[in-house]
Structure 1
Amino acid sequence: MLLSTIGIGEWQLLKWTNDSQNGTQTTSVLSKTPARKHANHMENREAVRCFVESLPKLPSHYCRSSTSRLYLQSDIKSFSHLYGIYKEYCTTAEIKSVSIKVFKSVLNEMKVSIFHPKKDQCDVCCSFETGNLQEEVYRNHIQKKNEARNEKETDKVNALEGRCRVVTVDLQAVLLAPSLLASSMYYKTKLACHNYTIYDLGSGEVSCYVWHEGEGDLGSSNFTSCISDYIEKTTVDGDKVLIIYSDGCTYQNRNCTLSNALLDLSVKKNLTIFQKILEKGHTQMECDSVHSTIEHALRHRSIYVPADYVNVMKNVRVSKPYKVNYLDNTFFKDFSQLNYYTSIRPGIKPGDLCVTDLRVLKYNPDGTIQYKTRYTEDYMDFPRKARCSGNLTHRITPLYNGPQKIKASKFKHLTELKKVIPPDYHGFYDGLLHE
């Protein structure tokens, strides 16, 4: 009964029985072995935690307010890539590695994920597929997606036929400098570089606005500076309608700073501007093809400084090369000084419509903004009226007084990485301001 129930060997049973009869104080194999295995298991899990903690991590760039999950820097491409780095770490540290299953469970406990492009999957669709969402909510979501898609296709046809100008705008996933294949790179924080892309659906022309965190951050005035510069430079006599498609990122696309700037341009240029927001989780646009082309060109390519990204972008497309603007801190303007509208929220009372419910914003040359929460609805006026309507003249001041400081820990890591960077590039990193 003991052999079949407990599953111990006969020699272990005899030894246990003899020791008990002889009065020998011996710890039972039944209690000692599981305890030792458990202790070893916990030590191995703790080693995984130490490894993961040694890797640089970032909060979600697109949903910081709704999740505490952290993401590994984008130079780690996949889970198998990460597990391979971990195996090398164990070999160097002379410790035993855990299985892939255990490794993944530790990552989940720590709320750490591999970086993935933001448009890979739709949360609403995934929730419905797993049975965690009501069918009515899902069908309403799909209907909104189709409305946005149909609207975009119609506008694209009109753009190709010259009836209006239509552009899509999006921020590429963060790029890191330096970006090399050296194993030491994975344990160091690097300089974040940003590419704000504007794609003209009628002409196929692409404009990229590129900067790094030593020159500017990711505030609403930064993105507003880019789109304002683009409109100022590309609008010609005869243009009457400009349509801008984007995702619904609030600090990037749905905010009062950008809306006031677009309204200001609408009045100055006598240009009706439409800002149209695609449905969350289904925001694939022509900008994505630009980002994919750039990322493909960067495969197995060494990037030593941010300017290397600019060189790649300029040469990645032979016909109609991308227009790349490499920005410094002097480019960015403080558009928060425009306060024609103090809010673009379509509701006033608690429970009313919010900014995230907006789908279309129409900026009129008469100094007013109208909105829609569904593409199939009629335009409505905001409950709050514009200030100085019809007389919009403001002087915009610079956003920064000079280059921006990076964290002291990041500067230390970049200094340590100079050992894998050619000496010609050291001066760039030495010149970065830091805390």
Structure 2
Amino acid sequence: MFINTLAVTTRILKTAWKKYDGSTIIEEDQRGRHDNHKTILTDSMIQSVCDHVRAFTPVESHYTRKSSQKLYLPGELSIAKMHKLYLEWFDADKYTCKASKERQYRDIVNSNFNLGFHIPKKDQCDECHIFRQKKNATEQEKVAFEQHERNKKIARNMKSQDKKTAVESNGKVVTAVFDFQKVLSCPHGDINVFYYKRKLSCFNFTVFDMGKKKAVCYMWDETVAKRGANEVSSCLLNFIQAYVEEGVKEFRFWSDNCAGQNRNRIVYSLYVFAAKKFNVSITHRFLQKGHTQNEGDSVHSVIERTSQPKAIYTPDEWRLLARWAKNEGEPYSVRNVTNNDRIKRTYLK
């Protein structure tokens, strides 16, 4: 009855009775209470793991990392893969002890580094996520969220209408979305030595014509230019000029709300300059914050998916890969941006 009531085994009961000495005090459990514990993490082991992590070259993200102290490594890495690389990298002549278990390696990394892996940001709205986590939202919060949802639907409906207008205009109206792809690093590939090399950042600014379903990829590396408003304006000016020569009279652009790249006076000044020079109408609308998914994202997805099994050593190889990444239909138009034709703070070729 006692065993069934407590749902214990007879061994527990026998052990407790064996320790009973006639008083109500039971002998204290002595398991683990000794001084001859085996040291699992030695100083040499910790030093070897830390040196190995520092041997990796951090990558620059498409998103700002100025406010974060994290060490960002390539997204194709993981703790498990780093441990396999560590076992190959380990030098027995330099270190006396090795972290042979993945758990040891993981514990040392977590204790000594604020480590993160650069994985493309998910298209998840912060405002929507926060609101859904609230169990008892106030009326003011509910009203703000409903307005946020309405703005999202209005922006998407307007973009769909602009796309329809461009298709029916017979080449007189262009509706396009534009955005930067995540940073493309050189060298890139699933080769162990690449993870320890200094990375050269390459940029891809994509303008996608939704009416004709054509994409133009403006590509350059960090030795040529940055990825701010000046570069965006330069690429858009080149795009507008090319379409004006085909007889386009009106441009309708869509983008996200990034102030440093799209929503600023430099881009606005470019529109004023282009509208006056080419005698065209230019409209720029912005998608609702957190819901900036658009047709141009498919271009970036195709390029990244195509690059996964390949080794890429130079920026020229990124341009070739983007040019032939699309298997069906018209290939992407890739334009190599240089600093040889710098006119009024623009980078054109």
Please tell me the TM-score bracket, short chain as reference: 0.7 to 0.9
- How far apart, CA to CA, are the structure 2 residues paired with 1:141 and 1:68? 32
Q: What is the SS of the residue equivalent to 1:156?
A: helix
Aligned to 1:308: 317
Tell me which of 180, 183, 188 is aligned to 1:171. 180
- How far apart, CA to CA, are the structure 2 residues paired with 1:96 and 1:7? 32
Check if 1:126 corresponds to 2:129: yes
CA contact (8 A) 1:248 1:280 kept: yes
Aligned to 2:82: 85
Query: Structure 2: which amino acid aligns with 1:303?
Result: I
Aligned to 1:152: 159
Deviation sequence 1:312-336 (CA, Å, 0-9, x none): 2222235222111112222444xxx
Aligned residues: 312
Aligned to 1:255: 264
When the two chains are superposed, the root-mean-square deviation of aligned CA atoms in Å is 3.4
- Structure 1 residue 68: deviation in Å? 4.3
Q: What is the percent sequence identity of the aligned residues?
A: 28
Q: What is the SS of the residue equivalent to 2:182?
A: coil
Aligned to 1:273: 282
Aligned to 1:322: 332
Deviates more, 1:287-296 or 1:126-135: 126-135
Mapping 1:328-367, distance limit 5 Å: 328-333=338-343
Query: Structure 2: which amino acid aligns with 1:152?
Result: K
Q: What is the SS of the residue equivalent to 2:216?
A: strand
Question: Under a length normalisation based on structure 2, what TM-score does the superposition of the two structures give?
Answer: 0.77
- How far apart, CA to CA, are the structure 1 residues paired with 2:294 and 2:180? 11
Deviation sequence 1:268-326 (CA, Å, 0-9, x none): 22222111111222211111111111122222112121111222222223522211111
Aligned to 1:106: 110
Aligned to 1:97: 101
CA contact (8 A) 1:167 1:199 kept: yes
- Structure 1 residue 6: deviation in Å? 4.7
Query: Structure 2: which amino acid aligns with 1:322?
Result: Y
- Structure 1 residue 158: deviation in Å? 1.3
- Structure 1 residue 115: deviation in Å? 1.4
Query: Structure 2: which amino acid aligns with 1:181?
Result: D
CA contact (8 A) 1:165 1:243 kept: yes
- Structure 1 residue 42: deviation in Å? 8.7
Distance of aligned partners of 1:102 and 1:303 in 2 relative to their CA distance in 1, 3 Å threshold: closer
- How far apart, CA to CA, are the structure 2 residues paired with 1:69 and 1:240? 48
Tell me which of 133, 136, 141 is aligned to 2:148. 141
Q: Which runs of 5+ in 1 are unaligned?
A: 10-28, 334-395, 401-435
Tell me which of 207, 216, 219 is aligned to 1:207. 216
- How far apart, CA to CA, are the structure 1 residues paired with 2:77 and 2:318? 22
Tell me which of 163, 167, 189 is aligned to 2:198. 189
Query: Structure 1: which amino acid aligns with 2:120?
Result: P
- How far apart, CA to CA, are the structure 2 residues paired with 1:230 and 1:144? 29
- How far apart, CA to CA, are the structure 2 residues paired with 1:102 and 1:139? 44
- How far apart, CA to CA, are the structure 2 residues paired with 1:153 and 1:184? 46
Query: Structure 2: which amino acid aligns with 1:160?
Result: V
Distance of aligned partners of 1:6 and 1:243 in 2 relative to their CA distance in 1, 3 Å threshold: farther
Q: What is the SS of the residue equivalent to 1:206?
A: strand
CA contact (8 A) 1:72 1:114 kept: yes
CA contact (8 A) 2:49 2:108 kept: no
- Structure 1 residue 56: deviation in Å? 1.9
Query: Structure 2: which amino acid aligns with 1:89?
Result: Y
Q: Which runs of 5+ in 2 are unaligned?
A: 1-15, 20-25, 91-97
- Structure 1 residue 165: deviation in Å? 1.4
- How far apart, CA to CA, are the structure 1 residues paired with 2:108 and 2:240? 47
CA contact (8 A) 2:319 2:334 kept: yes
Q: What is the SS of the residue equivalent to 1:124?
A: helix
- Structure 1 residue 199: deviation in Å? 0.7
CA contact (8 A) 1:44 1:97 kept: no
Distance of aligned partners of 1:189 and 1:276 in 2 relative to their CA distance in 1, 3 Å threshold: same
CA contact (8 A) 1:166 1:201 kept: yes
- Structure 1 residue 193: deviation in Å? 0.9
Question: Under a length normalisation based on structure 1, what TM-score does the superposition of the two structures give?
Answer: 0.63
Deviation sequence 1:252-277 (CA, Å, 0-9, x none): 11122111111111122222211111
- Structure 1 residue 399: deviation in Å? 6.7
- How far apart, CA to CA, are the structure 1 residues paired with 2:341 and 2:135? 46
Distance of aligned partners of 1:129 and 1:116 in 2 relative to their CA distance in 1, 3 Å threshold: farther
Distance of aligned partners of 1:33 and 1:98 in 2 relative to their CA distance in 1, 3 Å threshold: farther
